Amino acid sequence: MTDHTERDAMTYDVIIVGAGPAGLCAGMYAGRGMLKTLIIERGLPGGELLNTEKIEDYIGFESILGRDLAEKMANHALKFGAEIITDTVDAVERTADGDFTVTTALEKVFRAPAVIITAGGTPTKLGVPGEAEYAGKGVSYCAVCDGAFFRGETIAVVGGGDAAVEEADYLTRYAEKVYIVHRRDRLRASPIIQERAFKNPKIEFVWNKVVEAIEGDERGTQSLRLTDTVTGDESSLAVTGCFIFIGFTPNTGMIRGHYEHDAQGYVVTDTHMRTSIPGLFAAGDLRVQLTRQITTAVGDATTAAIAVEKYLTERREHSKVQAAAGAT
């Protein structure tokens, strides 16, 4: 990046990467704090809310469509002065003077003394026919979000790691029967999690099978088409829900420079949502935490936005002290 480009960069008090629940909430709080705020989102505001048909676990709304909640959150952020633009962030980089430059796919450059990363993460998809078609109509990537919609039904969980087996156990509180479909003849989950699943009478294991397609009709998901990894035989498994837990990747690729993270790549923060890079904050699904829900995302974002206010105040006061010392 040239000096000329940096000089021409549009300047804000804080830049927020991502406009899911965390990003929009952070934008609303930053705007209320009278900070000049920019939110950059690669798609429409709302993030994963736009992929969720109905939400029934967000306090204050017994039931609301995901797109409606997304619209309400975006309007709330805009009301308090946050600016939202559509673009993809390519790089977030801390400069020698302690500010950040944020560059985008449309070759725009923005500058701010603080950045909040709320870009979430991406569930690993099976990539099979029917997966996209029945997303929100039986296909899900979040047991806590959608489990209650499957009371008394027969469903499948695809995967064999800790997340898959834990979520299968959780789903038995709603479903009448839960199949765990795994491509091998043994699980990757930790022994204590496996033991709990093996003892659960509602769980049945479908070994050495991969999902070739998710099939259904106007009512939604109705079955999975399976192939045996040993014999090659095909079969069908009748289920009305398919929960996919084969991986999740936090969207942190735009961060330039080393930051503290766990073995899965999730960003480590302190209780103020500060990362190991001064001035860089993180909130929502890409952060190391116990659970990833709308409620936890907006809680993180509230803390991050208020922490940014304090960080900027302390930074200004420090600059004044330095300037006064230089004048003597």
Q: Which helix (H) or strand (E) holds 44?
A: none
**Confidence category of residue 162, pLDDT binned at 50, 70, 90:** confident
Lowest-pLDDT range of 23-27, 44-48, 141-145, 227-231: 141-145
Of the candidates 25, 146, 242, 300, the residue annotated as catalytic is 146
**pTM tops 0.85:** no
Q: What per-residue confidence (pLDDT) applies to 96?
A: 93
Same domain, 107 and 143: no
Specify whether 145 is catalytic: yes
Task: Supply the range of the domain harboring residue 212.
Answer: 139-244
Under 8 Å between Cβ of 122 and 248: yes
Same domain, 233 and 315: no
Same domain, 160 and 99: no
Same domain, 112 and 252: yes
CATH assignment at residue 57: 3.50.50.60
pLDDT tens string 168-226: 999 999 999 999 999 999 999 889 999 999 999 999 999 999 999 999 999 999 999 99
Residues near 19 by beta carbon (within 8 Å), at least 6 away in sequence: 27, 39, 40, 41, 45, 46, 47, 74, 84, 118
Amino acid letter, residue 232: G
The answer on pLDDT for 2 being more than 60 is: no
Residues near 62 by beta carbon (within 8 Å), at least 6 away in sequence: 56
Specify whether 25 is catalytic: no
Query: Token pair 């029917």 is at which residue?
Result: 130
Let me know if residue 131 belongs to a domain. no
Q: In this prediction, what percent of the chain has a pLDDT beyond 90?
A: 80
Let me know if residue 133 belongs to a domain. no
The answer on pLDDT for 57 being more than 90 is: no
Of the candidates 25, 145, 285, 300, the residue annotated as catalytic is 145
pLDDT tens string 91-128: 999 999 999 999 999 999 999 999 999 999 888 999 99
Same domain, 255 and 239: no
Specify whether 242 is catalytic: no
Domain boundary among 227, 244, 261: 244
Of the candidates 57, 87, 99, 142, the residue annotated as catalytic is 142
Residues near 153 by beta carbon (within 8 Å), at least 6 away in sequence: 174, 175, 176, 239, 240, 241
Number of domains in the chain: 2
